[in-house]
């Protein structure tokens, strides 16, 4: 999905801006941004901070306003089901034994390990369910995003480079 979006944006906006925008998107996040950066031939040393900043930028707003936003969405016919589904997903993820047992470390690992359904956006929802304040949740989520970025750098940049050497 990130590759297709990167190809679509290739000739429309600068590659660095495309990577930034992709990193901000809730489903793709930094994971997709790093893949897009590699596809668009953005230098890793430029791509990494762009992806981290792009992924983290919306999270403080999510942490501050998610309850109000979900409440408002549930009050509309069009978005009620979506808001309910998001809340249910966050509660289900927050009920995970490792997240419950290790709370802060569990949230960090949840954000850091680049698997489908994890990341900063869902981590923000989980932090809200766990009643973590922004001053606690944001640093944890940020460290998770940085760690995910390092893992994705290996996947998007290092492994393809090593394959070309073979």
Helix (H, G, I), strand (E, B) or coil at 137: helix
Running DSSP on this structure, what letter comes out for residue 116? T
Task: Say whether pTM exceeds 0.85.
Answer: yes
For residues 83 and 73, the answer to whether their CB atoms sit within 8 Å is yes
Locate the domains of the chain by residue range: 2-56, 59-148
Cβ atoms of 66 and 87 within 8 Å: the answer is no
The one-digit pLDDT tens for each residue of the chain (166 residues) are 788 888 888 889 999 999 999 999 998 999 999 999 999 999 999 999 999 999 999 999 999 998 899 899 999 999 999 889 888 888 887 777 777 777 889 899 999 999 888 999 999 999 988 889 999 999 999 999 999 999 999 999 999 999 989 8
Q: How many Cα atoms within 13 Å fall on the side-chain side of residue 108? A: 11
Q: Which whole-number Å values give the CA distances from 148 to 53, 133, 142, 152, in the listed order? A: 13, 22, 10, 6
Q: Are residues 149 and 52 in contact, defined by beta-carbon separation less than 8 angstroms?
A: yes
């Amino acid at each position: 999905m990130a590759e297709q979006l990167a190809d679509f944006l290739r000739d429309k906006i600068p590659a660095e801006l495309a990577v930034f925008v992709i990193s901000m998107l809730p489903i793709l996040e930094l994971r997709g941004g790093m893949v897009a950066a590699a596809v668009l031939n953005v230098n890793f040393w430029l791509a990494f901070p762009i992806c981290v900043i792009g992924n983290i930028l919306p999270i403080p707003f999510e942490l501050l306003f998610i309850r109000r936003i979900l409440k408002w969405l549930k009050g509309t016919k069009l978005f009620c089901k979506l808001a309910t589904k998001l809340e249910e997903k966050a509660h289900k993820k927050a009920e995970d034994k490792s997240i419950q047992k290790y709370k802060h470390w569990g949230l960090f690992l949840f954000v850091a390990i680049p698997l489908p359904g994890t990341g900063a956006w869902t981590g923000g929802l989980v932090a809200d369910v766990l009643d973590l304040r922004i001053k606690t949740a944001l640093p944890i989520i940020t460290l998770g995003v940085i760690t995910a970025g390092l893992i994705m750098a290996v996947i998007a940049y290092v492994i393809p480079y090593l394959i070309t050497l073979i």
